[in-house]
Amino acid sequence: MFEEIVKDGVATLVRAMATDAWPMARDGVVRLFRRKGRSEQEAMAKRLDKDEARVSGSGTEDPDKVRVELAPQWRVRIQDLIDLYPAGAEELRELEREIRELLPKERQGWTQYNVARDGGQVFAAQGGDVKVNQLPPTPEKGVHG
């Protein structure tokens, strides 16, 4: 029900890792988890710290690659929270706006919508390349192989 809010919130959260916006982003997410009790809040604070340290200290790893890997994990955690406590969706939406305003310009946008219908295909990337080597269908196999 609140998938778009969660998706946008998580995308902004991981973009904030290893930026000046991180302390506010971290505190806001920890505040969201107050609904699940103090121990869950503390567990999420530790998880956030560990994940941010992975992004900021990624060494040979590309920080954006680490962010991409972390996003689905945070999407599950936050979606589960919002499913249990739907009133937190509006708080998450407001937190996402606040974080986005604090992000450096190059981190403020990271949205992509791709839709393929009726047998269509989408090949898309952000910050990378898409190489497609596809042969047309052969008469023997047809379109559906």
Residue 14 within a domain: yes
pLDDT digits (tens, 9 = 90+) for 69-78: 999 999 999 9
Residue 144 within a domain: no
- Residues spanned by the domain of 40: 3-106
Residue 115 within a domain: no
Query: Mean pLDDT in the chain?
Result: 86
Q: Any idea what the Cα angle at residue 39 is, between residues 35 and 45, rounded to 5°?
A: 85
Question: Nearest-CA neighbor of 16 among 91, 82, 112, 104?
Answer: 104
pLDDT digits (tens, 9 = 90+) for 79-89: 999 999 999 99
Residue 35 within a domain: yes
Residue 143 has pLDDT above 80, yes or no: no
pLDDT of amino acid 106: 61
Residue 128 within a domain: no
Q: How many CA atoms lie within 13 A of 39 on its CB side?
A: 0
Residue 18 within a domain: yes
- Give me the number of domains the chain comprises: 1
- CB distance 16 to 102 below 8 Å: yes
Q: Find which of 26-40, 58-72, 105-119 is predicted with most confidence, using mean pLDDT.
A: 26-40
Rounded Cα distance between 111 and 125, Å, is 11
Cα 45 to chain centroid distance, Å, stands at: 17
Average pLDDT over residues 38-64: 90
Rounded Cα distance between 74 and 95, Å, is 15
Average pLDDT over residues 105-124: 70
pLDDT of amino acid 102: 92
Residue 123 within a domain: no
Question: Nearest-CA neighbor of 7 among 66, 115, 82, 62?
Answer: 82
Residue 38 within a domain: yes
Q: Any idea what the Cα angle at residue 36 is, between residues 34 and 42, rounded to 5°?
A: 60
